[in-house]
Amino acid sequence: MDPYLLRKLNAERTARRAVIHLTDLGDGRDRVIREGDPVAGPLGEAIASALRSGKSGVVEAEDRKFFLNVHLPPARIVVIGAVHISQALAQMAKVAGFDITIIDPRTAFATEERFAGIDLVADWPEDVLKARPLDAYTALVAVTHDPKIDDFPLSQALATGCFYVGALGSRKTHAKRVERLTALGHGEAAIARISAPIGLDIGAASPAEIAVAILADIVAHLRRRPLLGAGP
């Protein structure tokens, strides 16, 4: 392995970008391929498929054997709102293998007691997201109902291409939200990416059931996400 490639691979991983370390098992030559880099032919198809599934493995293409080691950033969930749903979602997300962060500037909600052992930040999303930016491997879940708190992170989630963007609220609440996000300059297609009402439609009633619906919706979006650079 080329030392320069190891540095490049680690830099991409640290920056939370999806990459593949490709090794020709015949001659040992290798390269690092970023998601969105154009690779033609059957090898390109294998690369696209590996990026989607996250599965590493050996592929045969062009009469050669390649090893594709896929490095996807670990998926994480950022929840805006330390509410009852978030308490249930935080527990379930951990079981499902997601990192989760809860952000809520309202200190009455964001208490250690309500979220023991959970990464909880009692501050405004504007401030928190500056240090911890959203990205394509992050799901943004906005559940405060309060435009003062929810709107900025929702707007950021659309701008940074979060793989999932969900917002709690009735259709009426959401219609007003659409107007505000439009005023912020987001197009119709971007705004349509927001899951609202939030979560899969499973008739969820209790906060814990709504958390199940949200988590299932997040998994569906993660596993079926379109690739960067793959067009609309």
Partner 1 sequence: MNATANDMLDPLTIAERWMDDGRMVALATVVETWGSAPRPVGSHLVIDGEGNFHGSVSGGCVEGAVIGEAMEVISEGEPRMLEFGVADETAWRVGLSCGGRIRVYVERIG
Q: How far is the CB of 58 from partner 1 (least distance, A)?
A: 6
Q: How far is the CB of 135 from partner 1 (least distance, A)?
A: 10
Considering only residues 94, 132, 180, 225, which one is a binding residue for partner 1 as defined by CB under 8 A? 132
Q: For residue 208, which of 103, 86, 117, 111 has the smallest C-alpha distance?
A: 86
| Residue closer to partner 1, measured from CB, 9 or 204 | 9
Rounded-to-integer distance, Cα 184 and Cα 94, Å: 34
CA angle (55, 61, 62) in 5-degree steps:
160
Tell me the three state secondary structure of residue 191.
Answer: helix
| Residue closer to partner 1, measured from CB, 72 or 181 | 72
Between residue 4 and residue 43, which ones bind partner 1 under the rule CB under 8 A?
6-7, 9-10, 13-14, 23, 25, 28
DSSP 92-116: HHHHTT-EEEEE-S-TTTS-TTTTT
Q: For residue 80, which of 13, 142, 159 has the smallest C-alpha distance?
A: 142
Give the interface segment with partner 1, choosing from 50-58, 178-186, 191-199, 210-218 (CB under 8 A).
Answer: 50-58
Does residue 101 touch partner 1 according to CB under 8 A? yes
Give the interface segment with partner 1, choosing from 3-11, 87-95, 167-175, 192-200 (CB under 8 A).
Answer: 3-11
**Conformational region of residue 16, where left means phi above 0, alpha means psi within -120 to 50, and beta covers everything else:** left
Rounded-to-integer distance, Cα 75 and Cα 58, Å: 24
Q: How far is the CB of 186 from partner 1 (least distance, A)?
A: 25
Q: How far is CA 44 from CA 30, 118, 167, in A?
A: 15, 40, 36
Q: For residue 85, which of 174, 166, 181 has the smallest C-alpha distance?
A: 166
| Residue closer to partner 1, measured from CB, 74 or 203 | 74
Q: How far is the CB of 1 from partner 1 (least distance, A)?
A: 5
Considering only residues 70, 103, 204, 215, which one is a binding residue for partner 1 as defined by CB under 8 A? 70
Considering only residues 42, 57, 185, 187, which one is a binding residue for partner 1 as defined by CB under 8 A? 57
Amino acid identity at 143: V
| Residue closer to partner 1, measured from CB, 76 or 177 | 76
Size of the site for partner 1 (CB under 8 A): 24
**Footprint of partner 1 (CB under 8 A):** 1-3, 6-7, 9-10, 13-14, 23, 25, 28, 55-58, 67, 69-70, 76, 99, 101, 119, 132
